[in-house]
Structure 1
Amino acid sequence: MHPSFTPSADRLTPYEAQAACLEDPRPHPAEAALQQLGCCLMTELLDIVGETALEDFQGLIGEALIGAFHAVSQRIEREADKARDTLGGLVRDFDGSEVLDVEIQAATARARCSDVAMLAMEIVRDAAAAAYATATGEVWSPWKGSVRASRLSAAQIEARDALRAARARKHRSRDAGATIVALRAAPQADTAEDAGRLFDALNWARERWPDMALATSGARGAEKLAIKWAQQKGVPLVLARADFDRHGRSAPFRANEEMLALEPVCVLTLANSVNPLRASAAKPFGPALSLAQKAEEHGLLHHAVKARR
């Protein structure tokens, strides 16, 4: 038998509380069981792939597994949205007849069942992502689309989604929404010294703007370190990914334009490692230098992260 929760005996999580409200005689799996599933699947995958000829691709394989649960969650969410659209039409057309009343109840049940299934898949996804981060030190982010905040991770918002929301807010009111702090940092800036200085800068920004959201491209190196910081602190992420398929070599600079379009209150840049040996082996990161220049041209507050003196 699969582990399931007992509504009368256990203290229910939000997912379990929603599941308990459904009129389904079949039990739902407990949240702890779903978390164990995600953790076990990822751990088993990494154990099998590690130290084999597939080890060089374990990052892609691991992210694909997490992405599969993310994709099915999104698909279920679309089904729930369709059920709610149907429900809205039925409510508008309701004439008091028994037939329409039955259809309304059925559409309501479909939407509620889909909501619970979506939450279940998100729990599995987040547990797999947490196990992946623990085992590899890498953080997962979706290849496209946004991710709701959960107990295990901060929200991750695609820059295009954030821009659309910002435009919609301007049409509705003068509410500026989340305070954006933008970051571009060098891939080679991934030493312990870099992490320390970067976290100092991010902690300073969060103290100054407690409601901040962090905008970054999610590139490897220091920007991945910043994503880990955001997830640990519960700071929402706005990901302006470089789309090389669409924009080619200019993709990192197009990502900068997306971040500037979000009207950040502050721009942080780390153009090279603060570790002297690492810095001498690589040139300063062009996209970070470019963002710093553009920020100053736009009159935005800019801080360059540097070594302690």
Structure 2
Amino acid sequence: LHELQLYGWRQGSDEPDPRSLPEAGPLQGAVADMVDALVATLADTRLEGDLSPLLWSLTNVFHLSLQRTERALDRNESEQRRSQRDQDGSEIRSVELERLLAEGLSLIERRNAHELMRDAAVTLFERHLGEAWRPLNGSRTSHRALTAAVIDSRDFIAAKRRAEIEPLTPAGTKIAFAGGVDCNDHTRIWAALDRVHSKHADMVLLHG
């Protein structure tokens, strides 16, 4: 209680953050205030020549923050896939997957917020300097075109394809088997298949 009184609520390393994200308007306004302060302070002074690299660096700060969040999102996706494979019906595994899912959704929201700030800084950079902002390396990806309708549509199409394909594709590890006309030693064939089956008990045999 004493710590709460001194410092307030602090998020644990494995706890979701229940606080809301800033609204888009205030975020864009904060970025605009930073850029406007630099422009107003350095314009018509001997430091005006430094305005371009300073604005580039300011924009790059948001870009790097966005990249860090995207890397965390990639790690979360890998952990979700691993957790899906490890599901054994136990409550522990189920809770772990739920936690990773909640973390992933939070990371997506954070990614979108960082991207909003980066894009706002890019727009102001180009407006004040009349040149395009480009990152030092890599590309500048924007998810603003991914509206809720587009995402819902893609999810629907993906689900429809799975519903059409899965009945025709047995579950399990796919093992391809092929041989020419001389491949007719059934003893060796069964021995090879038995060895594979010992490693992949859920194997599905594919042949042509």
Taking structure 2 as the reference length, the TM-score comes to 0.58
When the two chains are superposed, the root-mean-square deviation of aligned CA atoms in Å is: 1.9
| 1:101-156 deviations in Å (ceiling 9; x for gaps) | 1111111111111111111011111111212222221221111111123559xxxx
**1: distance between equivalents of 2:144 and 2:37?**
23
Aligned to 2:128, what secondary structure does the other structure show? helix
Corresponding residue number in structure 1 for 2:124: 131
| 1:217-261 deviations in Å (ceiling 9; x for gaps) | xxxxxxxxxxxxxxxxxxxxxxxxxxxxxxxxxxxxxxxxxxxxx
Bigger Rg, structure 1 or 2: 2
Corresponding residue number in structure 1 for 2:74: 81
Q: Aligned AA for 1:125?
A: R
Structure number with greater CO (CA < 8 Å, separation at least 6) is 2
Corresponding residue number in structure 2 for 1:43: 36
Superposition pairs for residues 159-178 of structure 1, below 5 Å? none
Taking structure 1 as the reference length, the TM-score comes to 0.40
Corresponding residue number in structure 2 for 1:143: 136
Runs of 4+ in 1 over 4 A off after TM superposition: none
* Cα drift, residue 81 of structure 1: 0.7
| 1:260-289 deviations in Å (ceiling 9; x for gaps) | xxxxxxxxxxxxxxxxxxxxxxxxxxxxxx
Q: Aligned AA for 2:43?
A: G
Larger helix fraction of residues: 2
Identity of aligned residues (%): 31
Corresponding residue number in structure 2 for 1:70: 63
**2: distance between equivalents of 1:46 and 1:64?**
14
Q: When the two structures are aligned, how many residues end up with a matched partner? A: 130
Q: Is the 8 A contact 1:34 1:124 kept in 2?
A: yes
**1: distance between equivalents of 2:44 and 2:78?**
50
With over 3 angstroms needed to count, the CA separation of the structure-2 counterparts of 1:111 and 1:25, relative to structure 1, is closer
**2: distance between equivalents of 1:96 and 1:150?**
35
Corresponding residue number in structure 1 for 2:113: 120
- 1:29 aligns with one of 22, 29, 39: 22
Aligned to 1:101, what secondary structure does the other structure show? helix
Aligned to 1:147, what secondary structure does the other structure show? coil
**2: distance between equivalents of 1:24 and 1:86?**
19
Q: Aligned AA for 2:115?
A: E
- 1:100 aligns with one of 83, 86, 93: 93
Q: Is the 8 A contact 2:112 2:143 kept in 1?
A: no
* Cα drift, residue 50 of structure 1: 2.1
Q: Aligned AA for 1:116?
A: E
With over 3 angstroms needed to count, the CA separation of the structure-2 counterparts of 1:79 and 1:150, relative to structure 1, is closer
Larger strand fraction of residues: 1
**2: distance between equivalents of 1:140 and 1:68?**
13
- Structure 2: segments with no counterpart, 5+ residues: 1-15, 146-208
- Structure 1: segments with no counterpart, 5+ residues: 1-22, 153-309
| 1:70-99 deviations in Å (ceiling 9; x for gaps) | 000000110011011011001011001111
Q: Is the 8 A contact 1:38 1:126 kept in 2?
A: no
**2: distance between equivalents of 1:123 and 1:40?**
15
Q: Is the 8 A contact 2:115 2:142 kept in 1?
A: no
